[in-house]
Amino acid sequence: MNDKQLEACCYTDGPLLILAGAGSGKTRVITHKIAYLIDELGVNPYNILAITFTNKAAKEMRERVDNLVSYGAEYIWVSTFHSMCVRILRRHIDKIGGTKDFTIYDTDEQKIVIKEVLKFLNLDPKMYPERAMISAISNAKEKYMSPDDYERENATSFRDQQIAKVYREYQKRLKSNNALDFDDLIYQTIYLFETNPDVLAQYQDRFQYIMVDEYQDTNHTQFILVKQLAAKHRNLCVVGDDDQSIYKFRGANIYNILNFENEYKDAKVVKLEQNYRSTANILNAANAVIAHNEGRKDKTLWTEKEDGEKITFTRYDNEREEGRGIASKIKTIKNKGKSLDEIAILYRTNAQSRALEEQLIYENIPYKVYGSQNFYGRKEVRDILGYLKILVNPSDDQSLKRIINVPKRGIGDTTVDKLSTFAYSNNINLYDALLDIEEVPGMSRNVEKIGKFTEIIESLKAMLSPEYTLEELYDELLDKSGYIDALRAEGTDEAKARMENLEELKTKIVNYEETAENPNLTELLEEIALVADVDAEEDEDNPTAKVTLMTLHSAKGLEFPYVFIAGMEERLFPSGMSMDSDDPDALEEERRLCYVGITRAMEKLYLSAAVTRMMYGNTNYTEDSRFIKEIPSHYLERDGREAYSSSGSQTGKFAGGLGSGRLPGDVGGRGIVKPRIQHVNYYNQSTNPSANPGFGKAFPMGGQAASKDEFKVGDKVRHLKFGNGVVTDVVDTPGDKEITVDFERVGVKTMYASMVKMKKL
């Protein structure tokens, strides 16, 4: 061990804060500290408690402790917060009115109880969705708020008063069922200790030495619980890194670690700053970025490793080119004899994986999505594709069964089974049975519900005509089905992620429409099926090496020799929500997330951004992420669209135009609209956009993009999406022309001549 690790191991009396930077060997310090207590100081293993967050981390720590401690290791409590609380409550819950054979409810069981509560209180589940209620109750418990506390805290909000009633009735039913949910495990343990000082004293005497890993991720109740247990002997050692606090959305409170020295005035602080993972260039870049945060402890990572390769930053034309470029670089790495298992692609939002996955599939590069499903396997994507499949093939009974009650319409499984039996007996498909619902025996109570459903499907089928674009059909589907409204009402972080994925599916549809010679829904579904139908089976004896795809949040705790971070753009990373937030910590947490991403790389880091990115069906210009600007230029090498700028100046930066994520003048939210505020020449070798590989490929018209010299004022034109219009203005700009058209259907649009998908009439 190095000097600082040894110092942390040997300090045993009183509070200790170990600030462990990324890759600094913190788990090694915790386990060796336990061994030191037992072997050198003669501490009884029975008196040691080590707490971590995940079962995987607890298992790893247990194995390391068992290998280091030859005698008595089995008496050390190495556990997660929740498993520790279960053990305590199994012994003592009778003291607070429970019984020791209590059941622990998972999310599905919670939803069943909430559903009963909403029915009992006569509350509309569309106004008070089950998931939203579970989330609100969980947040209250993490703040150690009872139903009465919650009601008092939110006295001026009618909705929150209703939630307080749901919370109260939910707890009443849990108690009658002799059940606890996961938040109760910690909440009730704190309550047990508060109301039974003798029980608390028993555990204080037992746990004379307490170690808590990942302390920056603790929430309020976990902080209270640790404080209770350590109050007597005060031999509390917490290990963490405030620069890696990225789970505020899960309730993590960074101030638990930032204020540790205020809570324990005599606390010793040891900084572990030597990194054993990454090269010097990677660490220096990470240090430079995180230094811009104000709410942090001062520390700087360093390494004895060589400088290594510079970080590569590439600015691509669009997200498709970004995916293609990353795939190309991965093939180069593989051709050098490296395994795909050594490579990870990280991104800010799950929705970004779609463009990346498709390019990896096209290049025949095996991959796995860590902690999530492949894009086209995600529930919300499969649900909406199910609707689209029914529109072109009403005989698809499996797709129909998937979406008939999604979102919930009161059409249960029993009803669907009866309809399926009727359809089979009469040699018709299920959808035909729905259309003839009045003729189906025993369905009188369901006629209205099913009638409304088929009305939605029939109205959408009517849009399968040249008068409507697939984009318009998609928007109408999300609206009429009620799917988006249901997600909005849920209001959880998971629901927001699902909405982002549905917006990304829209991007796929718009991209398809802009590239297809004769866009139609059948061909679109075929294209998606070919991309989505990746053989998931793998020979267990000969597993295939795969590139790992994951969000930046999922990457914490992992490391890879080669790391790609895609989408380094303002309003994507950092997120627009964090930029618009009143919370001063929101942007700092995004920067901590960037720090985590950078420090996952061991040997080589690739960063990338796109000049234009289609989001929510709209193509927007982007500005490089502020995190790119915060990396000193001597740690970066730029290629692609960035290579022309030796000064490292940022392209795509328009004054006042990007705050909303839409370009100035893009009133209708469609098309590619160029701002008039500032013109920037993006092109490296030529002012002709078509001279740049990959540029303009997505905008064919009859096989070729329209010439930029083709249009003049007064020309009557037809745009694929916007319909008929008249050219009202043509303006020369550096390397291009702006064409302004007054469309009959959508009004005035200003577009690039080189990119517009339009022809003269």
Q: Dump pLDDT digits (tens) for 647-662.
A: 333 333 333 333 333 3
Q: What is the CA radius of gyration of the chain?
A: 29
What pLDDT is stored for residue 532 in this prediction? 66
d(CA 272, CA 24): 6
Give residue 735's pLDDT band: very low, low, confident or very high (50, 70, 90): low
For the entire predicted model, the pTM comes to 0.75
E-strand ranges in 532-682 read 547-551, 560-565, 601-610, 612-615, 618-621, 636-640
d(CA 679, CA 675): 8
d(CA 140, CA 121): 20
Asked if residue 31 has pLDDT above 70, the reply is yes
Structure tokens of 175?
């108690």
Give residue 285's pLDDT band: very low, low, confident or very high (50, 70, 90): very high
Rounded to 5 degrees, φ, ψ at 96 are -120, 25
Which of 577-591, 713-727, 734-748 holds the top average pLDDT?
577-591
d(CA 358, CA 369): 13
| All residues at 6 or more sequence positions from 205 whose CB lies less than 8 Å from its CB, including other chains | 232
What pLDDT is stored for residue 9 in this prediction? 92
Residue 201 half-sphere exposure toward CB, CA atoms < 13 A:
4
Residue 761's Cβ-count burial label (10 Å; 0-12, 13-18, 19+) is: exposed
d(CA 618, CA 644): 27
- 177-203 pLDDT, tens digit each: 888 999 999 999 999 999 999 999 999
Structure tokens of 577?
């929500």
Asked if residue 208 has pLDDT above 80, the reply is yes
Structure-model confidence comparison of residues 109 and 322, the more confident one? 322
Name the 3-class secondary structure at 718: strand
Paired residues of 533 in beta bridges: none
Asked if residue 698 has pLDDT above 70, the reply is no
E-strand ranges in 646-722 read 716-719
d(CA 408, CA 233): 54
Structure tokens of 434?
């729905």
CA distance to 334, 383, 390, per residue, from 461 (Å): 47, 17, 9
- 216-234 pLDDT, tens digit each: 999 999 999 999 999 999 9
CA distance to 246, 286, 288, 589, per residue, from 293 (Å): 13, 12, 10, 9
Give residue 754's pLDDT band: very low, low, confident or very high (50, 70, 90): low
C-alpha torsion angle, residues 37, 42, 44, 45 (rounded to 10) = 40
What pLDDT is stored for residue 683 in this prediction? 28
- 41-82 pLDDT, tens digit each: 989 999 999 998 888 888 888 888 888 876 777 888 888 899
d(CA 447, CA 84): 52
d(CA 490, CA 205): 45
d(CA 188, CA 86): 10
Which of 118-127, 415-424, 602-611, 694-703 holds the top average pLDDT?
602-611
Structure tokens of 714?
């007064």
The residue assigned the tokens 């043509």 is 730
Asked if residue 424 has pLDDT above 90, the reply is no
| All residues at 6 or more sequence positions from 529 whose CB lies less than 8 Å from its CB, including other chains | none
CB 270 within 8 A of CB 10: no
Which of the 8 DSSP states describes residue 749? E
Structure-model confidence comparison of residues 518 and 332, the more confident one? 332
- 234-272 pLDDT, tens digit each: 999 999 999 999 998 888 999 999 999 999 999 999 999
What pLDDT is stored for residue 541 in this prediction? 47
Residues in the chain: 761
C-alpha torsion angle, residues 247, 253, 259, 264 (rounded to 10) = -110
d(CA 282, CA 286): 6
User: At 255, which helix (H) or strand (E)?
Assistant: helix 255-258
The residue assigned the tokens 């059948």 is 522
* Averaged pLDDT score across all residues of the chain: 85
User: At 220, which helix (H) or strand (E)?
Assistant: helix 220-230
Question: Which of 592, 652, 555, 758 lies closest to 315, judged by CA?
Answer: 652
Asked if residue 359 has pLDDT above 90, the reply is yes
CA distance to 5, 12, 25, 33, 386, per residue, from 66 (Å): 20, 20, 18, 13, 51
- 741-753 pLDDT, tens digit each: 888 877 777 777 7
What pLDDT is stored for residue 734 in this prediction? 59
CB 249 within 8 A of CB 493: yes
Structure tokens of 116?
């009963």
Give residue 288's pLDDT band: very low, low, confident or very high (50, 70, 90): very high
What pLDDT is stored for residue 619 in this prediction? 83
What pLDDT is stored for residue 744 in this prediction? 81
**Within a 10 A sphere around the Cβ of 74, how many other Cβ atoms?**
12
What pLDDT is stored for residue 176 in this prediction? 86
Give residue 440's pLDDT band: very low, low, confident or very high (50, 70, 90): confident
- 522-532 pLDDT, tens digit each: 888 878 877 76
User: At 737, which helix (H) or strand (E)?
Assistant: strand 736-743
Q: Comparing 100-104, 500-504, 528-532, which segment has the lowest mean pLDDT? A: 528-532
Name the 3-class secondary structure at 673: coil
What pLDDT is stored for residue 631 in this prediction? 96
Asked if residue 331 has pLDDT above 90, the reply is yes
CA pseudo-torsion sign 287, 291, 292, 297:
positive
d(CA 288, CA 300): 9
Name the 3-class secondary structure at 726: strand
Which residue stretches of 259-346 are H helix? 260-263, 280-290, 319-335
d(CA 59, CA 583): 36
Which amino acids are annotated catalytic? 26-27, 213-214, 244, 600
What pLDDT is stored for residue 533 in this prediction? 58
What pLDDT is stored for residue 653 in this prediction? 32
Structure tokens of 616?
């929510």
Give residue 454's pLDDT band: very low, low, confident or very high (50, 70, 90): very high
Paired residues of 719 in beta bridges: 723, 758
Residue 644's Cβ-count burial label (10 Å; 0-12, 13-18, 19+) is: middle
CA angle in degrees (0–180, nearest 5) for 52-57-59:
110
Paired residues of 614 in beta bridges: 619
What pLDDT is stored for residue 59 in this prediction? 82
What pLDDT is stored for residue 258 in this prediction? 94
- 333-342 pLDDT, tens digit each: 999 999 999 9
CB 501 within 8 A of CB 608: no
CA pseudo-torsion sign 391, 394, 398, 401:
positive
The whole-number average pLDDT for the span 477-496 is: 89
Structure-model confidence comparison of residues 9 and 702, the more confident one? 9
Rounded to 5 degrees, φ, ψ at 603 are -115, -40
Asked if residue 726 has pLDDT above 70, the reply is yes
